[in-house]
Chains A and B, each alone.
Chain A
Amino acid sequence: MLNKHHMERLHIMFAVCLVLFAVLIGRMVYLQLWRGDYYTQQADGNRLRQSKIIAPRGLILDSQGRELVNNLPGYAVALQKQSSYDPAMLQKLSELLNIPLTDINKQIKESKNYYEPIRLKGNLSPELVTKIEENRRDMPDVLLEVQPIRNYLYKEFAVHALGYVGEVSSYEIEQGLFKDVTQGSIVGKAGLEQSYDKYLRGEDGAFMEEVDVAGNVVKHFDTVQPVPGKNLKLTINYDLQMTLEKFIDQHLAYLRSSGLAPNARAAAVVAIDPRNGAVRAMVSRPGYDPNLFVHGISVNAWNKINDDPNYPMNNKVITGEYPPGSTFKIVTGSAAFELDKVRLDEMIYDGGFHPLVPTMGNAEGEVLGWLSFIKALAMSDNVYFYELGYRVGIDNIAKYAGIYGFGQPTGIDLDGESTGLVASKKVKWDIWHEDWRLGDTFNAAIGQGFNLATPMQLAVMLSCVANGGIRYQPYLVDSILNADGSMYMTPERAAGKHIDISQRTLDYMQQGMSATTQEGGTASYFQSLPRKVAGKTGTAENSHGRDHGLFVAYGPVEAPELVVVAIVEQGGFGTSAAGPIVYKVFEEHFREEGLLPPENAQDNKKN
């Protein structure tokens, strides 16, 4: 039983509680009565002003470590969060920045974070910075924040691979597309800038100042240093890419002016290393200058890009879906050999059309007579491949297309890749609600009809042929480096996958493609290169105009180092429209290896 002694304990407890209350009351007297004026001033005049130190984005370097994208110093203007603002000051700010007062008020109202300044405008011009500085005394709540500006050194250079940055939109914030962003943050909007944003962005720092009513800094609190973003080292080689871009522009101009292809304005070219999937060059035309977006693109410039019927913003290497045309004959041929539906020495007769569907024949009605596989592939005979398509059937064509990677994303480290389409009975039913016919199989066998592929998919297919049947995931980023240049990490990549096609079949494909670039093949001008290059022409039917010219190649044949795919929209035949571009890539590649003398004799407009 608790006794009197314990009752005493309760009295002590009450005394302790009273002492504690006295402490609280004392503290309230101190805060509210003794220091009340000081805190009132703090609440009114204010007080704490936080400024962000924006972390510089990581650099983007080429395969040799040369800078492609860096940052220039710049400024952003922001408004310190306040309980109320001087209307005269807001008015002045609105005039200086040329932002309507209602917009500024709206931003103030919508800003949720309680101490984050309200970012009003980034990438200020130097004149504007000076003007704001001059008026600083009248605008104590206005902050100038140092904000690095993204700088794409070579403008259009590799723009579709690099992408561009811009201010994060409220939609992107709401959707949670980026981690740790606030209004006004700069994020990647396309290309590698987007897909590697979390590495490139870095962590912003901050410092806080206590300011009196007049805007004078009374006290400076510790600074949180920004952490710069990581650098990306690409697989793209500056020299190869630059030479290629220049040549493509020149070549497209030539195609247009010579009358060969008056509408040849769009193209997609990619070069990858078949030994690992590294992308050495990637060009999509037309292009655009990403620096335009960094500075907040003008309406005129935007309209010009947006209204261009050739979609400059699209990276046609991964989003352009084209009928693969005759390059697809590799799939049909592989299916036929794998399923033992044809022998290498078997001769098939081309009488200009296929007897089962007499309306379908060769381009321009050619009659090539008795053909073996090698010759049929080299000369890109259609009738021969109709017959193979007939023998293996559409289901098997679709199956082998899948094995080579068609109809699925290649997994390259860019966002927004298209999957293409593999012709099948189901696809036709889904689109047209019609039954499959033999003519559809014929079309599919030569890469027309329902088949659609991106240039990147074609490059992956060709790599499989060139490297003996290993499918690699193509990639643009070789490694991610720390700001000091040391290694941070190698991006995760799927290991190369052995595809289910025999070496014998791949040998036949290689032989057929080698013959293409030999005397009598469709691209015999490749013989002038110092090493043997194997290729395949293609012509993709285009219902909107002239056909797209397509050329795929790998080389050197003995030990392939490069796979190149080029497509010129509305370029006509592949051998004249796309072939020279591929030729140029190999020429530059062999020149780098010292197999050709340094650039001298002006180029090779062979057709």
Chain B
Amino acid sequence: MDLKRILRNLDWWLIGAVLLLMGSGLLLIDSATHSFAVSTGKAWHVERQGIFMVIALLLAAFSLRFDYRILKNYATRLYIANIVLLVAVMVFGISQLGAQRWIQIGSFSFQPSEFAKVFLIICLAAFMEKRIEWLETFRDYLPVFAYILLPFVLVMKQPDLGTSLTFIAILLGMIFVSGFKFNWFAKLGVLFVAMLPAFWMILKDYQKNRIRVFLNPELDPFGSGYHVIQSKIAIGSGGLLGKGWLAGTQSQLNFLPENHTDFIFAVVGEEFGFVGSMFIILLYMIIIWRGITIALNAEDDFGTLLAVGVTSMFMFHIMVNIGMTVGIMPVTGVPLPFLSYGVSSLLTNVMLVAILLNIKLRDRKLQF
């Protein structure tokens, strides 16, 4: 495809929203890590995030040269690579904050479970596309469930509740669009409720506590309840217009822990107020809108399923992360796409957007 045609057919709404979010992300990370940067004399987080943004964007642009459909051929290999990485993190991984999620290579550490989300979306789309004609009865879906069971269990073991729930969100989005009947969802729901006790048993103590504390934050005003209480105060005190960049008292004084990663939205709320929050939420709505439109117009079922998986994942992350900071979701440690500091998650999200763009480039309208 020549450059002109590519430029004409790129989804500029999507690109615009993502670039604006990433730019805002840099501003917010700068604010959230300000006291750290002042005391060390180096804006380490912002620089690192910025460098990886450029790398991610270059990779994304380069990837558009290839037709996304070749991913189908690599599905099995990706699936195996995914399992290998997840096992590697169990064996060689380093622990942080009570969970073993990181692999270190030289001075660079990354979270394989972030990349696992991309791999899973691709593999699952390829797997379902092959069987799409035969997905007639509930039984037909059992292989699909079996397919994601192994990566799911491996992520669960790390333990990374956020990523394992993301897997479920991706799965639900994709089977829903493939025609999974409503009453089957009811069946799954019953099954899920029946399995809740067993599920509760495999949760780590801190995860159980987070859920208990979510149900009643005052149980633990010092621990995870503290995060939510302080985050709510930060957002609420932002009011209509916010306190201004670098001027949030909650964020700047370290009342809010981890405010450059999981709780970055609290910085938005406090420093930029309702107006700023609405701006960010609007950008996310644009991403979801474009994701679903791209799924609708995709050239083939693989494209549709891919786009649905990507969109489901974004929606889940946005809802769970923002919901957590405003106190309507439990604390699960899911990053906010494009805003949270974190190199692995940044690369993952940009690659997912690249996949959406790729599907759009080669969609149905182009053929006519």
* A interface residues with partner B (beta carbon < 8 Å): 1-2, 5-7, 9-10, 12-14, 17-18, 20-21, 23-25, 27-29, 31-33, 35-40, 42-44, 47-48, 50, 81, 83-84, 112, 114-115, 206, 208, 221-222, 224
Residue on B with the closest CB to A114? B254
Residue on B with the closest CB to A15? B292
Binary per-residue interface labels of chain B (225-245) against chain A in the complex, 1 for a CB within 8 Å, 0 otherwise: 010011011111111100000
**Of B72-80, B146-154, B203-211, B322-330, which binds chain A?**
B322-330
Binary per-residue interface labels of chain B (290-320) against chain A in the complex, 1 for a CB within 8 Å, 0 otherwise: 0010011000010010001001000100010
**B178 contact from A2, A20, A23, A50, Cβ within 8 A:** A2
Provided the pairs A13-B308, A21-B284, A39-B237 are in contact, do residues A31 and B178 lie with their beta carbons within 8 angstroms? no
Expressed in whole angstroms, the Cα–Cα distance for A25 and B282 within the complex equals: 10
CB of B255 within 8 Å of the partner chain: yes
Provided the pairs A32-B273, A32-B274 are in contact, do residues A13 and B173 lie with their beta carbons within 8 angstroms? yes
Interface of A is mostly: helix
Q: Is the CB of B235 within 8 A of A31?
A: yes
Q: Is the CB of A28 within 8 A of B277?
A: yes
Provided the pairs A7-B296, A36-B239, A221-B221 are in contact, do residues A14 and B289 lie with their beta carbons within 8 angstroms? yes
Size class of B's contact patch?
Answer: 35 or more
Report the minimum CB–CB distance from A535 to chain B (whole Å).
58
**A48 contact from B179, B229, B296, Cβ within 8 A:** B229
Provided the pairs A5-B179, A24-B326 are in contact, do residues A10 and B292 lie with their beta carbons within 8 angstroms? yes
The 6 closest A-B pairs by CB, nearest first: A39-B236, A43-B237, A83-B249, A36-B239, A32-B274, A39-B237
Expressed in whole angstroms, the Cα–Cα distance for A40 and B233 within the complex equals: 7
Report the minimum CB–CB distance from A280 to chain B (whole Å).
45
CB of B156 within 8 Å of the partner chain: no
Which B residues lie within 8 Å of A31 (CB)? 232, 235-236, 269, 326
* B interface residues with partner A (beta carbon < 8 Å): 132-133, 173, 176-179, 218-219, 221-222, 226, 229-230, 232-240, 249-250, 252-257, 269, 273-274, 277-278, 281, 284-285, 288-289, 292, 295-296, 301, 304, 308, 311, 315, 319, 322-323, 326-328
Expressed in whole angstroms, the Cα–Cα distance for A28 and B133 within the complex equals: 44
Interface of B is mostly: helix
Q: Is the CB of A9 within 8 A of B179?
A: yes
Provided the pairs A13-B173, A24-B322 are in contact, do residues A115 and B226 lie with their beta carbons within 8 angstroms? yes
Provided the pairs A2-B301, A17-B288, A42-B233 are in contact, do residues A24 and B319 lie with their beta carbons within 8 angstroms? yes
Which B residues lie within 8 Å of A208 (CB)? 221-222
Q: List 14 A-B pairs, Cβ < 8 Å.
A: A10-B177, A18-B285, A24-B319, A31-B236, A32-B236, A32-B239, A33-B274, A36-B237, A43-B237, A48-B226, A81-B253, A81-B255, A115-B226, A222-B218
Q: Is the CB of B278 within 8 A of A17?
A: no
Q: Is the CB of B236 within 8 A of A35?
A: yes
Most chain A Cβ neighbours within 10 Å, of B222, B234, B277, B319:
B222
**A32 contact from B240, B289, B311, B327, Cβ within 8 A:** B240
Which B residues lie within 8 Å of A13 (CB)? 173, 176-177, 292, 308, 311
Q: Is the CB of A83 within 8 A of B253?
A: yes
Which A residues lie within 8 Å of B288 (CB)? 14, 17, 21
Expressed in whole angstroms, the Cα–Cα distance for A112 and B281 within the complex equals: 32
Which B residues lie within 8 Å of A112 (CB)? 254
Q: Is the CB of B235 within 8 A of A43?
A: no
Q: Is the CB of B278 within 8 A of A25?
A: yes
